[in-house]
Structure 1
């Protein structure tokens, strides 16, 4: 199970990257850090700088068909930057078009909105995104984790860091069900 983690060069909420990353590793999968620029990304603990992480692949130089699933970590600045990057948005859209599962937490559904892939789906997110999701044609729910199995692609979404345990267990289970044989 090879999973892309798409993040901007800075602004990802560290725990929303590291906990899901570890969940993929613990499930025997291969997480791959994909960003819009080569080098390192700067993670944050809310508004404070945290650790840096090496970028393994640059969006635009890799395609969705190289992966079994996509994880979109949150933070406010991270998805806000991703949704303004055409290659990042196209990368997300390609995952959905190919029917590959996508997991998004906190503010990450902003990138899904920009990719125009939420219409008719039920998602959860950080509460301040509920109007954005509804305006994009989604149904917003206030739940720890939401699984929307609408075609062509399954979405697993969660609201915040407090939901990470349920988010990780759920998305890993969904990704394992849908992963391609090695």
Structure 2
């Protein structure tokens, strides 16, 4: 299965990209780095620059229908940049409209809030997003990983890098079940 990993050209928390990427690849899936710009994506270890990664596709040219699922890595800046890009927000919304599974960690639910897809859903995130999620009509819980199946698709969310093992296991289980 092709799995889209949506990121901005900079600001993604590197471990929240690389660990789920590796988990997907190790499970036999094809991870695809989709960005709002072509070329390199700058990863970060919190506030310090880390490695760069080559974008495989640009969000304005990518089709949600060609992927089995979507992973939204966090970092503070990454989802903030994504939620300001109409094409990125539309790409995320397309996954929900098509009933495809989505996984988001840390600050990534900011993009879900902007796409207006958290209403009546229960999710988790970095704690500072609690009010944003509630204001968007969602319910926030402080859990390592939360799988929400309200609506036509499954949503897997997690709080932080310390939760990556549980996050990866959960999103892979959900994505594979959705694929049939």
- With normalisation by structure 1, the TM-score equals 0.98
Please tell me the root mean square deviation across aligned C-alpha atoms, in Å.
0.6
Residue segments in structure 1 that go unaligned for 5+ positions in a row: none
- Structure 1 Cα separation of the partners of residues 132 and 92 of structure 2: 18
Does residue 73 (structure 1) correspond to residue 93 (structure 2)? The answer is no
- SS of 1:107's partner is coil
Determine the C-alpha separation between the residues in 1 that align with 2:83 and 2:154: 20
Cross-structure match for 1:176: 176
The 4+ residue runs of structure 1 with deviation greater than 6 A are none
Question: How many pairs does the alignment contain?
Answer: 180
List gaps (5 residues or longer) in structure 2.
none
Name the counterpart of 1:83. Answer: 83
- State the distance in 2 between where 1:51 and 1:62 align: 24
- Look up the match of 1:41: 41
For 1:55, the equivalent position in structure 2 comes to 55
Aligned to 1:118: 118
Give the whole-Å Cα distance in 2 for the aligned partners of 1:139 and 1:91: 23
1:22-37 map, 5 Å: 22-37=22-37
Structure 2 equivalent of residue 151 of structure 1: 151
Partner of 1:137: 137
Q: Deviations over 1:108-146 (max 9, x none)?
A: 000000000000000000000000000000000000000
Give, in angstroms, the shift of residue 174 of structure 1. Answer: 0.3
**Pairwise mapping of residues 15-26 of structure 1 onto structure 2 (< 5 A)?**
15-26=15-26
- Give the 3-state SS of the residue equivalent to 2:168 in structure 1: helix
Displacement, 1:30? 0.2
1:151-175 alpha-carbon deviations (Å, 9 max, x no partner): 2211000000000000000000000
CA separation in 1, counterparts of 2:113 and 2:152? Answer: 16
Q: TM-score, normalised by structure 2?
A: 0.99
Is the partner of 2:113 in helix, strand or coil? helix
